[in-house]
Structure 1
Amino acid sequence: MLHTVNKSPFASPTLAQCLGHLAPGAAVLLIEDAVVGATAGSAPAALLAECLKGHAVYVLGPDLMARGISEERLVKGIQTVDYTGFVRLVTEHEAVQSWL
C-alpha cells in the first residue's frame, strides 16, 4: 500500500499516525505541506529515519521546490519523485491510503 500524507507534521499528527500504521511492503509519499517534515534535523526526522529501515519514503519534488526546500536538506534515504513518479508509485501499489 502507498500512504500519502499532505499535512505538515508541525501542524497535524497525521504523519506520526501514518508511520505508526505501516504494514510490511508499504511506502510513504509526502506531498504538499508534509514535505517540510522530510528535512534533516527537523522534529519528525527521527521518525522518518526509523521508517526508512523497513519502508520506502518519497517526497514530491515540485512541492519541495514550492516551499524552497532543496533535496540536499532531506533526511538521508528519502527519495524525490516528480509527478510521473507519483503516478508510477500509485500504479505499483495495490491501494492508496490518503492521510488527510
Structure 2
Amino acid sequence: MLLHTVNKSPFEKTSLESCLRFAQTDSSILLYEDAVYAALQGTQCESLITQALKTHPIYVLTPDLHARGLNDKPLITGIQAVDYVGFVDLVVAHHAVQAWV
C-alpha cells in the first residue's frame, strides 16, 4: 500500500487532483505544506475530498496548519490530523511513498 503525499495548494496546482485520479483504493494520502488548505471545510475542495474519503484515509499535518494560522479552522469530517511523529508512522506503515509535487 502506498502513502501519497501532496504539498501544493489545490488552488494553484493540480497535484491533489492528479493524486486522487491515480491513487489506488485504500492508499493513504497526506496533505502537508500548502496542501493543508484542501483539508478545510467550506472550500471548493470539500466535495472532492469528501468523495476521496470514501476510498482513501486522508491525513493533514498539524504543524503546517499551525504555520498558516489555520489551526482553529474546522477540518473536513473524516480527515485525520497528525503531527511529525504521525507522519513518520505513516511512512513506516506503508511500503512506499509517492510524492505529488
Q: Find the counterpart in structure 1 of residue 24 from structure 2.
A: 23
The answer to which of 68-77 and 31-40 deviates more is: 68-77
Cα distance in 1 between the residues matched to 2:72 and 2:24? 27
Instruction: Report the TM-score when normalising by structure 1.
Output: 0.96
- In 2, are the aligned partners of 1:2 and 1:97 still within 8 Å (CA)? yes
Match of 2:44 in 1: 43
Write the mapping of 1:17-96 to structure 2, written as runs, cut at 5 A: 17-70=18-71, 72-96=73-97
Cα shift readout 1:52-93 (whole Å, capped 9, x = no counterpart): 111100000000001111265110000000000000000000
Question: Kindly tell me: are residues 83 and 19 of structure 1, through their superposed partners in 2, closer, same or farther at Cα, counting changes over 3 Å?
Answer: same
Name segments (4+ residues, structure 1) moved above 6 Å: none
CA distance, structure 1, for counterparts of residue 45 and residue 35 of structure 2? 10
Q: Deviations over 1:10-38 (max 9, x none)?
A: 00011111011111220000000000111
Q: TM-score normalised to the size of structure 2? A: 0.95
Aligned length in residues: 100
Q: What is the percentage of aligned positions where both structures have the same residue?
A: 50
Cα distance in 2 for residues equivalent to 1:71 and 1:14: 25
Contiguous gaps of at least 5 residues in structure 1: none
Cα drift, residue 3 of structure 1: 0.2
RMSD across aligned positions (CA): 1.0
